[in-house]
Structure 1
Amino acid sequence: MTRTSWSFYASAYTYILPDEADYLQPTFLADRGSLHLEARYNYEDLETVSLRIGYNMSTGDDPSLAVTAMLGGVFGQTSGIAPGYRMTLAWGIATFDTEGEYLFDAETMDDSFFYSWSELTAAPVDWMTAGLVMQRTRANMGPREFQRGFLLGVAFERVDLTGYLFNPDDADPTWVVAVGVGFGAIQ
């Protein structure tokens, strides 16, 4: 009998905001076969934790499609139930990654909200990506409903480092620096 290995990924996104306090947004992912587990802090709102369980599905090689359907609970400054998804479509050097969720706010339904983060990237070499990014979040309430911008990332073995520039045409854009580490093949 073959046992499926666990894979883990931890990341920390540092938001450098023009008119608000900077903050850190850590995420931890664990996957084993079709099982997906996820924990995040400061994603839906500041001082808020979210825990999720999901089901991984994938097909194809080039192009490839991976989808994870999730259900989670959100606790803290904002509380509620959040069904969501992750999806990656890759073809050649191009990749489209998107994740989203609809938070049903436990306090007031009027505060329910759709969160989204999407990236369209190209990887001209194995160790570098560049592309476009878009987010919709309530954690930092800028003047725009959707923040959009550019990203540039580098990777070495299990570590990746990515810089994001949101709203580059604003006088004071938002910067995000992300570092992630992946671990796999743990029985």
Structure 2
Amino acid sequence: MRSATLLLALTLAATGVGAQEPPQPAPDAAAQPASAPWTFSATGYWNMPRESGDYLSGIFIAEKSQLHLEARANYEAKHSQSAFLGWSFSGGETVQFKATPIVGFLWGSTHGVIGGLEASVAFKKFDYYIEAEYLDPHGAEPGYFYAWSELGYRPVEWLRLGLVAQRTRIYGGDRDLQRGGFFQVTVRKVTGSFYWFNPGSHAQIAILSLGISF
């Protein structure tokens, strides 16, 4: 009896029945999906209003996944700077969209708190972009709504042209709303643009811009 029991035990051990599986190796860290990288873009604008002096403005953007950071100079007002924090939402296949609510503050010649939205939608060769914000300044100065919008068309991948409009009080005068046209040329990661507002009027504004993404 003892011999039969010993024989059965040896048989089970040899066939591996009842044995525990060896521990699986830990996943290779290199196989794990990498976190989204930072992306950056910087754009300078040479503003040439017909009724006042030329000046330079700029926008710098840093993004990581949905996080959006932005800094501007001479945008809401001359001799002022602004900084923003935002969170992006995007999606779509045939019609693609992206929306980024932002909140920030302005300092320099004007001080205040800003809330806004940057959004875009694209369908085939057409796209629409808008950035809108409301500035609530400190002191007795009333709040103001700023906006910049573009309706674009790409006949070829490197060329974009269309209509542009903006509402701003940075130029002074009685005209808050400007309308006009634009075209852009992109070579790799560099984009050059020309905007022409209020053509044919005494309040014409020309803007040359150069942007780079990296």
TM-score greater than 0.5 by the shorter chain: yes
Q: Secondary structure at the match of 1:19?
A: coil
Partner of 2:97: 65
Supply the distance in 1 between the matched residues of 2:142 and 2:54 (Cα, whole angstroms): 23
Query: 2:177 maps to which residue?
Result: 146
CA distance in 1, matches of 2:86, 2:202: 40
Offset at 1:74?
0.4
Matched, 1:25 2:57: yes
Matched-pair contact (CA < 8 Å) for 2:82–2:104: yes
Deviation of 1:141 after TM superposition, in Å, equals 1.9
Matched, 1:34 2:61: no
Q: Which amino acid aligns with 2:56?
A: L
Of stretches 169-178 and 15-24 in structure 1, the one that deviates more from structure 2 is: 169-178
State the Cα distance separating 1:127 from its structure 2 match.
0.4
Tell me the alpha carbon deviations over residues 41-61 of structure 1, each in whole angstroms, 9 at most, x when there is no partner. Answer: 001100010000000110112
Give the structure, 1 or 2, with the largest relative contact order (CA under 8 Å, sep 6 or more). 1
2:11 aligned residue: none
Query: What does residue range 41-120 of structure 1 map to in structure 2 within 5 Å?
Result: 41-108=73-140, 110-120=141-151
Unaligned runs of 5+ in 1: none
Aligned-partner Cα distance in 1 for 2:202–2:36: 50
Alignment RMSD, CA only?
A: 1.0
Match of 1:137 in 2: 168
Segments ≥4 residues shifted beyond 6 Å = none
Paired residue for 2:189?
158
Measured in 1, the distance between the counterparts of 2:174 and 2:183 equals 24
- Residue identity over aligned pairs, in percent, reads 34
CA displacement at 1:172 relative to structure 2: 5.1
AA matched with 1:146: L
